[in-house]
Structure 1
Amino acid sequence: MWVAVRQRFRAFHEDLNLTRDQVEDGIGKAIRVTQALERAYNGRVADQPPLRIVGSWGKGTQVRPSADIDIMVEFTPAVLARFEARVGNRQSQLLQEVRASLLDAYPQTDMRGDGQVVMVQFNTITVEVVPVFDLPGGQYLMPDTNNGGRWKTVDPLAQIALIEAIDTRTNGNTRALTKIIKMWQREKNVPLKSFLIELLVADFMSTYQYAQQDYYYYDWFVRDFLRALVGRAGSGLLVPGTGEWIWLGADWHTKAEAALAVAETACEWERLDYDVTAGQEWQTIFGARIPIHVL
């Protein structure tokens, strides 16, 4: 039984991974944007750019093609002190100054400041720049321009470490399942943020009894995660490092229930070795990226 599951989900997972050219393009643009800010603020480029790749790229959960790469660029305490001496929305003023500095380096490139980031929109990928200031213990202070502006403490290293630890313990399955669920999010416009999917999958896989199995169990991975997700509507979760409580809401619940119903049917077709019918069911969740026909 289940003659097609390994081949189907191996091919699906591999298709979601970035190509080497895409990785080099994204990281190269992130480094060059950081260097442009170094020149603007320090007059030189350091051997080690003050750059930290965060978000899905930092966690290794990005899906091909990736629309953006998130980076944190560290600024000196003197820059923070300069803006702290101002009045008004100091966080917005910081983002606008960073944007102006990048416009000098990339005058033909679209960019805008948006809430917490400056978005540098290249043809192949958008680099989302968050200016940050170092705090003890690996945490950072970042600007948030909403509601008049504030400084927000974030801990990207704690999130990255959590994903890494659980992914290692589950033989790489945590990152793989995260990418698969993100494909559902993308295909069905599910109103769940990517970083929440990352934390939800990690939490699920940390206690899932089959988490260390291979692709043979991936149909169950999908079904059982969706079942767990449906049960979390109206709840929340803690963000590693800062302990911030994030409300999950329930506006995604109907789509999760629909996907779960399809996944349960697809798993039954896989059990009966109706591999084409199973593939057709999976495509109603994930679109054409998951194959119907496998060898």
Structure 2
Amino acid sequence: MSSKLFSQFRENLSVKNAESISTSYKRITKSLNKRFWDTDSDFVHCRQVGSYGRYTAINGVSDLDMIFELPWSLHDEVQGYSGNKQYKLLSKVCNALKDTYRNSDIKVDGQIVAVKFTKGHVIELVPAFRYANGSYKYPDTGDGGRWRECDPVAEQIKMKEVNDSKNKNLRVLCKMVRAWKNEHGVPMSGILVDTLGYHFIRSTSDYDSSSYSSYKHMVRDFFGFLVDQDQDKEYWRAPGSGSHVYKKANFHPKAKKALRRCEEALDDDSPDKKWRAVFGRSFPLESNLTENVEKSDRAVSYTDTEQFIEDLFPVNIKYKIVIDCEINAEGLLKEKLSKVFDFKIPTGKRLNFYVKCIDKIPKSVTYYWKVRNKGEWAVARDQIRGQIRQGNADGKHSESTSFSGDHFVECYAVVEGVCVARDKIKVPI
């Protein structure tokens, strides 16, 4: 059954709006080719990069990266500008796109021109000049403006080379790890996920020819690989280009928890729910794969009103947030929930949740909260809850303790329609 579960999991992770994404890439390419190359082509001078270009993106991907090659004559022209040359180049590209997309949200943002489409994805366009060896020179508007270099082609070639030599398992592994990091709010960039997956898969021959039946062991071993990484290490070398890929935060605690859950799943005769605890709702349950399930087996004795953030917004975890709670109860006035152990909060008390750690999230962030009640009392009173509601701008949310049982409160940070950070806390009452 595990091979069927992981086979369906792989299918669930595949990008479902690839046709729409392709159309967006082509429209931008055609528009810029008209402006800078005097051609109507919708494919030359364009390269899809990032996770989508490395074929490691999963369904719900929101940020799509592309490089558009500009003529070197424009580089010579820009070099003659005064002030921030890089910003002026990006503005020139931005304005060229605005002539075509008059009703779209297009703006210069650091090293890119961001084009936001109403279909739920943003193309982050990097205008660049291509060297003869295939690498690129691109603008960075920071610190008054400067030029940087990158080699995404080398990264793509090396990823494909190793993926092909490992029975296509590298890309599958990277997709599964993306599902985990988005489910548990692990602030890892896409290139870091792919880089770590690349280094892991090259370090072993165990998965050179294996397939679905071995995925459960492969992900277990990968999380073990993560746990074994030096916690003080700041960066790893990207495949092919050798560029420094930095970590944003310590991923060890959540990797340890994932490793423990994987080991529990491997020891379980019906492990589907344990695997789902690792990867989220994209991992199927056995009942979903079983035909002719009796309706009574699916029935519940309460109204399940739970909502899921991935049904409301694309999820692409980039930042770290940590939530906590002040308990306003006798003997625990303004005590932090994170510092109280082996204690059940009395009913009839006030709980004040708040975001206590924010990792450079843009000021345009909007917070959403979910309160999920569990236990016999919640079922008996038909108070499972679980709806997602927009919270206060200051990242605070208040609740009262109504009945006994374990409760879970989760906070989501949403920026420009994408969930970029999340955290969850258990509330024993």
TM-score by length of structure 2 reads 0.63
How far, CA to CA, are the matches of 2:219 and 2:66 in structure 1?
30
Please say which of residues 235-244 and 123-132 is displaced more in the overlay: 235-244
Specify which of 10, 13, 16 is matched with residue 16 of structure 1: 13
* Distance of 1:184 and 1:245 partners within structure 2: 23
SS at match of 2:205: coil
The aligned residue for residue 279 of structure 1 is 272
Q: Does 1:126 align with 2:122?
A: yes
| 1:47 shift after superposition | 7.2
The CA distance in 1 between the partners of 2:61 and 2:201, in whole Å, is 24
Identity of aligned residues (%): 30
Structure with the greater relative contact order (CA < 8 A, sep ≥ 6): 1 or 2?
1
2:255 and 2:118 map into 1 onto residues whose CA distance is: 33
Aligned amino acid, residue 155 of structure 1 = D
Q: Distance in 2 between matches of 1:251 and 1:207?
A: 22
Between stretches 227-236 and 239-248, larger displacement belongs to 239-248
CA RMSD of aligned residues (A): 1.7
Give 2:281's aligned residue: 288
Q: Is the 8 A contact 1:178 1:198 kept in 2?
A: yes
CA distance in 2, matches of 1:57, 1:176: 13
Say which of 196, 204, 212 aligns to 2:200: 204
SS at match of 1:83: helix
| Aligned counterpart, 1:262 | 261
State the Cα deviation string for residues 155-195 of structure 1 (Å, max 9, x = none): 11111011101110111111111100011111112111001
1:241 shift after superposition? 4.4
For 1:244-263, list aligned pairs within 5 A: 244-248=243-247, 250-263=249-262
1:69 aligned to 2:64? Answer: yes
Match of 2:372 in 1: none
| Aligned match of 2:226 | 229
Structure having the higher helix fraction is 1
Indicate the residue corresponding to 1:158 in structure 2: 154
2:54 to 39, 54, 59: 59
Tell me the residue number matched to 1:105. Answer: 100
| Aligned mates of 1:194, 1:249 — CA distance in 2 | 11
Please give the alpha-carbon distance, in whole angstroms, between the structure 2 residues aligned to 1:56 and 1:246. Answer: 14
Residues 166, 206 of structure 1: 8 Å contact kept: yes
Which residues of structure 2 form unaligned runs of 5+?
291-429
Measured after TM superposition, the shift of residue 84 of structure 1 is: 1.3
Q: What is the aligned partner in structure 1 of residue 78 from structure 2?
A: 83
1:6 corresponds to: 3
Question: Structure 1-normalised TM-score?
Answer: 0.91
Aligned equivalents of 2:248 and 2:161: distance in 1?
A: 27
Between structures 1 and 2, the one with greater strand share: 2
When residues 88 and 253 of structure 1 are mapped into structure 2, their CA distance, relative to the original with a 3 A threshold, is farther
Please give the alpha-carbon distance, in whole angstroms, between the structure 2 residues aligned to 1:250 and 1:260.
18
- 1:81-127 C-alpha deviation (Å, 9 max, x unpaired): 11111232221221122111111110111122222111111122222
Aligned residue type for 2:9: F
In the alignment, the residues of structure 1 paired with residue 51 and residue 245 of structure 2 have an alpha-carbon distance, to the nearest angstrom, of 18
